[in-house]
Amino acid sequence: MTGTGSLVRLILRRDRLVLPLWVLLLAVLPITQTAGIAELYPTERGLREFAASFGANPALVAMYGPFTHWNAAALGVWRAGFTPVLLGLACLLTVVRHTRVEEETGRRELLGSTVLGRQAGLSAALAVAASANLAVALVVLASFAGPGYPVAGALATGLGYAATGMVFAAVGAVAAQLTESAGGARAIGLSALGVAYLVRMAGDSTGASWLSWLSPFGWSQRMRPFAGEVWWPLALSLAAVALLSLAAYALAGRRDLAAGVLPPRLGPADAVPGFGSPLALAWRLHRGPLLGWSAGFAVFGAVVGAAAKAAADTMAGNARLMEMMARLGGSANVADVFVASVMSIFGMGAAGYAVQAALRMRGEETLMRAEPLLAAPVGRARWMAGHLVFALLGPAVVMLVLGVAVGIAYGASTGDVAGRLPGVAGAAVSQLPAVWSLAGLAVALFGLLPRLTALAWAALALFLLLGQVGALLDLPPAALDLSPFSHLPKLPGGEVAATPLLVLTAIAAALVATGLYGFRRRDVG
């Protein structure tokens, strides 16, 4: 443990911007939702109606967890139900970043030769994660206690978040011991996170609610903040943190520096015959994420599709809700509205994948891996084209997989696969023009302003925010129209409007062309 303190300071120095940023952003999400709801529904009657309509929506229950109470704070925390997932993700990535990544790059070796305990790296990463989670809990507590919401509920919310965050920090610590590559460790950790979320989703949206007790996300939700707090599920999270951390320390103590518990595999001595073009290389680099996103979308799509009919049945009895949803989704068919709203959320996800795939080019460039190809007889445009295939067609594949998964599951539940599938798949594909315009933005930034490619992520975050809370915050339509997603027709069920789809596609094409033009004229590196 010697030297842990110095390593903690090193981590805080390196993450001095990014760490406070996610701590603050995630910690204020529940109070933002609560404040928005409280402003929109100042009366008890309004709140009760809002709660009755949204809390009965099985899709929202599947996504956010079971609905607990109609008061504004409970509703806000419920609507911010995705926060623990994002927090878990941030903690997991932070721990891997400061353990396995350090080893893989050889930096830990340099530090390890100084007066530094064997477990100092792991301890420092976990200590930083614990401090960040504690900070999240404190900010949540202060943000609710300040305006006068009950302290117990604020505490339960904050501690629930922190506990979930710590569980996934510990998951990251274990994953970091297993593989030699940071990518492998991240994949293991993310799979664990995905499974935990799916298990909770399955538990909350089917009758088998015991399933939710198997997931860390379920534990923190069952603390029932602002709805008669229950404290003992916190013990489950703490026990899981303790067990996982012990496992991580035991594994770390047994292995060599930079080695993994799972043995690395050798590759082939010769490449397969077709491996000799920028496109073939791009396939090798992009196939992992493409398969991962496709698998994820297939599973989530099937769950959502299966829940669609149940959602429709539940809502069918609620005339007021039907009316509201029809306004919102542009269709009187509740199941269609449900599917349409889910599609736009997945569309944002696919846009995230598209930006990630497009910015792979920047990663290859800064890691000096573009150089050997561009020093071979490969033109800049041809090199880019290999990556663009995946940045543009990858999201198309992923959305098509989603559409088919939702369509089959939804069709199966209504006994009409052939009737449902085309409309649902079409709805999924109709998201693509908006997805492509974000990919295009990333490509244009790469070509013209390579140092500012992170702006593509900022744009996606902005559009996500506009889509999620824009209507709630009563923003002017002009602001909401900034997001390409706001221009998409509401499918299935709504009118198919070709113009916005064509315009968005044209914008995307122009942005991609700009990126190609810029990259062919600028310095590489």
Partner 1 sequence: MSNVISVSGVTKRFGRTRALDGLDLEVRAGEVHGFLGPNGAGKSTAIRVLLGLLRADSGTVRLLGGDPWKDAVELHRRLAYVPGDVTLWPNLSGGEVIDLLGRLRGGLDRDRKRELIERFDLDPRKKGRAYSKGNRQKVALVAALASDAELLLLDEPTSGLDPLMEAVFTDCVAEARERGRTVLLSSHILAEVEKLCDRVSIIRDGRTVETGTLAELRHLTRTSITAELAGPPDGLADLPGVHGLRADGGRVTFEVDDDRLGDALARLAARGVRSLTSRPPTLEELFLRHYRDGDARTANGSTRTAGGDARPVDGDARTASGDAR
Residues in the site for partner 1, rule: CB under 8 A? 104, 180-181, 183, 264-271, 275-278, 280-281, 284-285, 288, 367-369, 371-379, 523-525
Scored b (16 or more CB within 10 A) or e, 169-188 reads bbbbbbbbbbbbebebbbbb
Instruction: Give the nearer residue to partner 1 in terms of CB position, either 184 or 216.
Output: 184
Distances (CA, A) of 329 to 146, 302, 492: 36, 21, 9
Q: Which two tokens stand for residue 335?
A: 């199941």
Contacts of 125 (CB under 8 A, 6+ apart): 11, 94, 95, 98, 99, 169, 173
- Which CB sits closer to partner 1, 112 or 494? 112
In angstroms, what is the minimal distance from the CB of 269 to partner 1?
Answer: 4
451 DSSP assignment: G
Q: Per the structure block, which two tokens stand in for 18? A: 């990014």
* Cα–Cα distance for residue pair 101/108, rounded to 1 Å: 9
Reference 443, options 484, 387, 500, 487; nearest CA is 387
CB of 366 or CB of 414, closer to partner 1: 366
Of 323 and 371, CB closest to partner 1: 371
Instruction: Specify the residue, 182 or 350, whose C-beta has the smaller distance to partner 1.
Output: 182
Smallest gap from residue 300 Cβ to partner 1 (A): 26
Which whole-number Å values give the CA distances from 111 to 115, 118, 257, 264, 486, in the listed order?
A: 8, 11, 12, 24, 50
Tell the smallest beta-carbon distance from residue 358 to partner 1 (Å). 18
Q: Which amino acid is at 243?
A: L
CB of 369 to partner 1, least distance (A): 6
Q: Which one, 106 or 147, has the nearer CB to partner 1?
A: 106
Give the number of other Cβ atoms within 10 Å of residue 401's Cβ: 19
CB–CB of 201/62 below 8 Å? yes
* Distance in angstroms (rounded) separating the CA atoms of residues 229 and 155: 9
Q: Which of 155, 129, 15 is nearest to 73 (CA)?
A: 155
Measure CA of the first residue to CA of the last residue in the chain; give whole Å. Answer: 39
Instruction: Please state the closest distance from residue 285 (CB atom) to partner 1, in A.
Output: 7
Q: Kindly compute the dihedral angle of the four CA atoms of residues 371, 373, 377, 381, in this order, to the nearest 10 degrees.
A: -90
Cβ distance to partner 1 smaller for residue 207 or 372? 372
Measured from the CB atom, the residue of 45 and 265 that comes closer to partner 1 is 265
Please state the length of the chain.
Answer: 525
Q: Which is nearer to partner 1, 367 or 498 (CB)?
A: 367
* Sign of the Cα pseudo-torsion (301, 303, 305, 311, in order): negative
Task: Give the separation between CA 318 and CA 328, rounded to whole angstroms.
Answer: 15
Nearer to partner 1 among residue 271 and residue 332 (C-beta): 271
Q: Is the dihedral of CA 306, 307, 312, 314 positive or negative?
A: positive
Would you call 436 exposed, middle or buried from its count of C-beta atoms within 10 A (0-12, 13-18, 19+)?
buried
Which of 368/458 has CB closer to partner 1?
A: 368
Residue 96 or 464: the one with the smaller Cβ distance to partner 1 is 96
Nearest distance in Å: CB 63, partner 1: 34
**Residues whose CB is less than 8 angstroms from the CB of residue 356 and which lie 6 or more positions away in sequence, other chains included:** 289
